[in-house]
Amino acid sequence: MKHQIVLLLYIYSIITLLSSCNKGNDTILYTIDLGNSKISLSQVAHKLNIPWDLQYDKTNNCIIFSEITGNIKKLDLKTKKISLLKQIPDIFHQRTTGLLGMTLFQPHQQTQYLFISFTTKHNGNIYSNLYRYVYTKNTELKEPKLLLRIPGNTGHNGSRIIIGTDNKVYWATGDAASDNYAQDSTALNGKILRINIDGSIPADNPIAGSYVYAWGFRNIQGLTQAGNNNIYTSEHGDAVEDEINLISPLHNYGWPLIEGRNPPKSNLALSNQRTFSPPIRSWTPVIAPAGLAYYGGSRIPEWRNSLLLTTLKSQSLRILKLSEDGRKVTDESILFKDQLGRLRSVITAPNGDIYFCTSNRDWNPQKGFPKPDDDKIYRLRKTDEVTGSIIRPVKAEQKEAEQNISNYPISGKALYESYCSSCHKPDGKGIPGTFPSLENSTTVKGEKKVLADIILNGLKDKAIKGVKYDTPMPAFNFLKDEEATAIFNYIRTNFNNQSTTISINEFKQTRKN
């Protein structure tokens, strides 16, 4: 009898262990202490293939998400089961191209639609496409309809989509890596486009007969609307000035004539007497902002009336507190920096929960990633319990002051880590075909003025050792001479280069020439 009891207890312990493993996604990883409120972070899905956009289905209480290679999947929030809804045909996926932004339109007792943006390639040309699918109550996708097709590129395709409170589709398009589109109000790239549900041009658009709602954008990666109808975007800058913009019809946001709150790059902008709308928040060094969501609920009172921003380079979730009218960012705090990896998309659910996903298996993995069970979807939820490690948001001013090199002796390594390492990597090895390696590089070790010119003016459409890299290097001529010299010398004396350095006066002369 005793042996039977021992055996039963053993079997019970195995069953309990297996059960806990099956529910591992609900394990609390961190408790975030906000002072009055506490929030739990748990993992709800893992081993995904580069999720890019999350959408909440209020009819079925599930998350619909896109994977960049072409899959649209469903995550049942009750069972945590993941199922494939649709594999989009003819996707062109290379680095940042593929199946990207989505939005669900779920009007009461009317036809539901899923709008998606993805890239295709025909006869050597890349395109960005906006499609509409009928979305059934059983989460089936059918009756695809092409609404718009515009020029695309291997990068800068933007592609976030929302349904506005006016029941119009807003599509954020990238500039397709061209300097000609964003300031051309007749082109559809580098814009916010406003579109009827059926794909036609709204009669009340600010430019009659045009989809264009606002222009002057480089590469929008986040798009959301607040309860007071304010529309916000997050946008990748070049070497400087990643931005959060408050969108107004007919406003020009400056690219490529101006970045952030900096002066115009040339007299062209001034001579034409153009007026540019400045960002309500910007960052230099850049943080690579990605998905953007508005939190207007009261479930987490500390975050009421805030923008939630996921970032790629700084690998963090940022909470941007807004003024009551939503026209200013009054406070910024940072969570999960360098803990979870690259964060791509974020959404809020009606019950106050927040979901966001990682993008660690994409083309530009950061140090220590991807993990074996990447990529993942996480949930933030208010809790009364304290479980797991306790963490607290870090004020942006405090965090960024620690990295503000102007407060310390000029450090080439610190500057390299701030401006260069996300592309060329901390070890200088770069990414084959995208970012050239700096290790034992003939260009780095060669004539000083050549490397100085590349740092100051960037590099585009040039082959290095017979390889033509498909991502241009931006110009870093905004750096002070002391800073540029420090980066120059750090690169020349590291990564197995061991070359002579340059003096500040020599660099000044190179800049002058």
Question: How do residues 221-267 score in pLDDT, each as one tens digit?
Answer: 999 999 999 999 999 999 899 999 999 999 999 999 999 888 887 66
CB 72 within 8 A of CB 99: yes
CB 189 within 8 A of CB 130: no
State whether residue 417 is helix, strand or coil.
Answer: helix
pTM of the model: 0.90
CA distance 451 to 510: 10
Record the tokens describing residue 192, joined without a space.
């916010």
DSSP character for 473? B
CB 264 within 8 A of CB 253: no
- First-to-last alpha carbon distance for the chain, in angstroms, is 94
Cα 310–chain centre separation: 6
The side-by-side arrangement of strands in the sheet containing 141-151 is: 99-105, 113-122, 125-135, 141-151
- The domains of the chain, with CATH numbers, are 25-395 (2.120.10.30), 404-512 (1.10.760.10)
Q: Per-10-residue mean pLDDT for the chain, 513 residues long? A: 46 38 63 96 97 97 98 97 97 96 96 98 97 96 98 96 98 96 97 98 98 98 96 95 97 94 70 81 95 96 98 96 97 96 97 97 92 97 91 78 49 90 90 89 92 89 72 87 93 94 90 85
Beta bridge partners of 104: 114
Alpha-carbon torsion (375, 119, 207, 201), positive or negative: negative
Q: Do the bridges between strand 62-67 and strand 71-76 make them parallel or antiparallel, or are there none, so unpaired?
A: antiparallel
CB 130 within 8 A of CB 148: yes
Other C-beta atoms lying within 10 Å of the C-beta of residue 233: 25
CA distance 389 to 39: 12
Radius of gyration of the chain (CA): 24
CA distance 313 to 86: 30
DSSP secondary structure string, 434-493?
Answer: TB---TT-HHHHS-HHHHHHHHHH-B-S-EETTEE-SSPBPP-TTS-HHHHHHHHHHHHH
